[in-house]
Amino acid sequence: MSDLTLGATVKFSIKSVPAAIKHRKTIHRLMRMQPSIQRILGRLAKIRDRKNDRHQRGGRIWTSRIKATQVLVVEKGATFAVRVTPQLIPDIKSVSRFLETV
């Protein structure tokens, strides 16, 4: 993990799934940083917004929000690419024992 240069795109592979939920959430958040996944999530958000159930309740417009779709799974062998920024370096270092560079 010492080859983290700012602005470089680094590809990671999950070598073991962490037992702690906080580490799984960090890896999941890093996986969501991929541009291709962000496009998918943006498209799904637009669809959810169009399908929102808006109705009148107590004289006001009430919106029932649909939960976001989970498109990623943190599992052994999953790969993802992240562009390294100063904000991501602490996150990457905190879960570095579960990741390996590809």
Write out pLDDT tens, residues 36-73.
999 999 999 888 888 877 888 899 988 887 888 889 99
- Alpha-carbon gap, residue 39 to 26, rounded angstroms: 20
The residue extents of the domains of the chain are 9-101
Helix, strand or coil, per DSSP, at residue 61: strand
pLDDT of 91 reads 96
- Amino acid occupying residue 13: S
Q: What is the CA radius of gyration of the chain?
A: 18
The arithmetic mean of pLDDT across residues 13-29, rounded, is 97
Residue 33 is encoded by which pair of tokens?
């940083």
Q: How confident is the model at residue 4 (pLDDT cuts 50, 70, 90)?
A: confident
